[in-house]
Amino acid sequence: MCGLVGLVCPDENDAAHARQAVLGALRCQRHRGPDESGTWQGDEVVFGFNRLSIIDIEHSHQPLHWGPMNQPGRYAILFNGEIYNYLELRSELTKQFGAVFATDGDTETIVAAYHHYGPAAVAKLRGMFAFLIWDRERRVLFGARDPFGIKPMYYAAGPGGVAFSSEKKSVLELTHTIGVTPKVDQTAVQHYLTLQYVPEPQSLHDVVHRIESGTSFTLTPGGKPVVERYFPATFRPRAVHGPSDENRLYDEITEALRDSVAKHMRADVTVGSFLSGGIDSTVVAALAKEHNPDLITFTTGFERQGYSEIDVAAESAAAIGVKHVVRPVSAQEMMDALPLITWYLDDPVADPALVPLWFIAREARKHVKVVLSGEGADELFGGYTIYREPLSLAPFDKVPGALRKAMGKVSTKIPQGVRGKDLLRRGALTLEERYYGNARIFLDDQLRQVLRTYDPNVSHQDVTAPWYDQSRDWDPVTRMQHVDLFTWLRGDILVKADKMTMANSLELRVPFLDPEVFRIANQVPSELKLTKETTKHALRRAIRDIVPAHVLNRKKLGFPVPIRHWLKDEMHDWAVDHVHQSQTDRYLDKNAVLRIIEEHRSGVADHSRRIWALLVFMIWHGIFVEGRIRPNVPEPTYPVKL
């Protein structure tokens, strides 16, 4: 778990002048790897690396060089992440090809696999990763991101070369070197206010993009990345006939999870686990306890009724027999920390839950260097209550198309807050039109009110259509899961997980997002995902003997944040001050924003999520565009070993 910076220049002379710029880019992401830094300059390439040492601490320094016996040092690699099956893969490479390794880590395994298998090596990796491999002989750069997008990789291309990094702020440091000038992307702003995140491959700066999850690429000096998708995330629900088939499926889920957690526990440092009040983190912690009897778990919450899982998490920790650490968060702490957190984010993500996540990650780093967490279970096993929507809207499917459209128009005439308005609106839409993920912040008519330059031709379907096109023959629930894997999961869930933990030099591992777990999860039929009583039915049945009874059928909460209440009271004046100080008039109608804040305060409507999205954008703009807000970024001072 680290931070990489790579610069591929058109010729050798450009590379010779670029090394200092790479050093500056490394300093921007020192929190990702405070243990050591390293740089290397090749012919047309400059590599830089910040390391957080987890496996093979005394060796496996990066940039790392490897080559076969007759071509020593042919390859140079930068690798951010962990490969959990590296021991098995090393053994395979040694037996089949006689591969020789100089370290005991997983980095060499990647480059050796690439040498022997070519780009197909990516499909053999079981882990989270973003890496760059420079082949000195062929003068080709090869890179990839893991199937689900757990680890990030940004890039920008210009006449002076192509810059890559684990963080966008480092790429921005290199834009002058490669000869491009970043500007705010208005389309990305509109997508952000709709979705609460900027969808891949975009960023809020027009010249900076992201290598998408589940893809690999090649690049030759003077060119641009040629990208190929190696992981399509195909769902293949299987037929289940009777109790014996069901029980066999549940056993396979249990076995896959147990094996995944076991491999995710591989480390030369202490591994802990996040623990909320839900089943996802609880089953991960319970299985981790089997490998570390002294496991420490961590949770966060708020001292407000209905907005804390502290008590439930503590009960779970006691039931599975682990030491438990709690870090409550106040409204004032959230307000004080938000500018710094936004700096770590690179692009705005309007998910309030990322703030308490930052606090608990900071607390966990005092005790451990690695934590496990339960991200991905909802997308793989059908955990969101909105996945029930196709059932509740089924009667509308029988209504002729023209009449459905008329119903949609009628819904626009119903006043806000009137029960049934949104049901009628959504019932008038097809699945592709209405579902674009778990967060629906601003609707089109609301965007028109706050955006100075609303573009009616920009739609959430620009983001979701490719994924719907690949799932035309699937059932509605599975189609929603598929869309979430490529939008909500990698745009929100995994961004906040990576950014908030790495901000504290803490490695987060997600055992649910494992190719072998997905191989079983994608076979679960819809009738075993959702029932009338619960979500994630198959998962709950599979782990019923592992998690405590009080958690097994408990409603999902996650890390709920009471911003609905706080923006009326403790946070109101703070929010208004940010609006007045912000220089975002080019994008936002600030009078409309202030009106929304006052409507929320008076109780006319719950605008809390919309207000939060606007505030996070304004703070982001104040940092990365105006330069008005300058967070005090702490220097990471953690020891190498924990």
Cis peptide before 72 (omega within 30 of 0): no
User: What pLDDT, on the 0 to 100 scale, is given for residue 641?
Assistant: 44
CATH code for the domain in which residue 540 is found: 3.40.50.620
Which has the minimum average pLDDT: 189-193, 338-342, 427-431? 427-431
CA of residue 43 relative to chain centroid, distance: 34
Pair 157, 89 in one domain: yes
* Residue 108 covered by a domain: yes
Asked whether the predicted pLDDT for residue 262 surpasses 60, the reply is: yes
Q: Where are the beta strands (DSSP E) in 459-499?
A: none
Tell me the pLDDT band of 638, cut-offs 50, 70 and 90: low
Q: How many CB atoms lie within 10 A of CB 597?
A: 23
Pair 510, 580 in one domain: no
* Residue 465 covered by a domain: no
User: What pLDDT, on the 0 to 100 scale, is given for residue 640?
Assistant: 39
Between 221 and 410, name the one with better pLDDT: 221
pLDDT in tens, 528-580: 999 988 999 999 999 999 999 998 887 765 567 899 999 999 999 999 999 99
Pair 392, 277 in one domain: no
DSSP 56-124: STTS--SSEEE--TTSTT-EEEEEEEEETTHHHHHHHHHHHH----SSSSSHHHHHHHHHHHGGGGGGG
Pair 124, 268 in one domain: no
For the residues 494-513, what does the mean pLDDT come to?
97
Pair 205, 287 in one domain: no
* Residue 558 covered by a domain: no
pTM over 0.85: yes
Asked whether the predicted pLDDT for residue 642 surpasses 60, the reply is: no
For the residues 303-325, what does the mean pLDDT come to?
87
Asked whether the predicted pLDDT for residue 34 surpasses 50, the reply is: yes
> In the structure encoding, which two tokens stand for residue 435, read together?
């579902």
Domain boundary residue, one of 203, 229, 255: 229
How many angstroms separate the CA atoms of 614 and 316, rounded? 36
Domain boundary residue, one of 229, 263, 296: 229
CATH code for the domain in which residue 36 is found: 3.60.20.10
Asked whether the predicted pLDDT for residue 50 surpasses 50, the reply is: yes
pLDDT in tens, 182-221: 999 999 999 999 999 999 999 999 999 999 999 999 999 9
For the residues 219-235, what does the mean pLDDT come to?
94
> In the structure encoding, which two tokens stand for residue 495, read together?
């961004």
Q: Which amino acid, one-letter code, is at 491?
A: G
* Residue 209 covered by a domain: yes
> Which residues line the annotated binding site?
106, 373-374
Pair 353, 501 in one domain: yes
* Residue 477 covered by a domain: no
Catalytic residue among 2, 46, 111, 629: 2
Pair 379, 389 in one domain: no
Pair 311, 369 in one domain: yes
**9 is annotated as an active-site residue:** no
pLDDT in tens, 52-75: 999 988 898 999 999 998 899 999
> Which residues line the annotated binding site for L-glutamine?
106
Distance linking the first and last C-alpha atoms of the chain: 15
Pair 15, 131 in one domain: yes
Pair 530, 578 in one domain: no
Asked whether the predicted pLDDT for residue 372 surpasses 50, the reply is: yes
* Residue 329 covered by a domain: yes
Domain boundary residue, one of 532, 552, 572: 552
For the residues 499-525, what does the mean pLDDT come to?
97
User: What pLDDT, on the 0 to 100 scale, is given for residue 89?
Assistant: 97
Pair 186, 279 in one domain: no
Asked whether the predicted pLDDT for residue 507 surpasses 80, the reply is: yes
For the residues 599-623, what does the mean pLDDT come to?
97
Pair 219, 273 in one domain: no
Across the beta sheet with 75-83, what order do the strands follow? 64-66, 75-83, 127-135, 140-145, 215-219, 226-229
Domain count, the chain: 4
Residue 466, SS3 per DSSP: helix
* Residue 464 covered by a domain: no
User: What pLDDT, on the 0 to 100 scale, is given for residue 533?
Assistant: 85
Q: Which residue has the tokens 């979430």?
A: 484
For the residues 153-164, what does the mean pLDDT come to?
96
Contact 444, 457 (CB under 8 A): no
User: What pLDDT, on the 0 to 100 scale, is given for residue 619?
Assistant: 98
User: What pLDDT, on the 0 to 100 scale, is given for residue 1?
Assistant: 67
> Which residues line the annotated binding site for ATP?
373-374
Residue range(s) defining the domain that contains residue 392: 385-437
* Residue 88 covered by a domain: yes
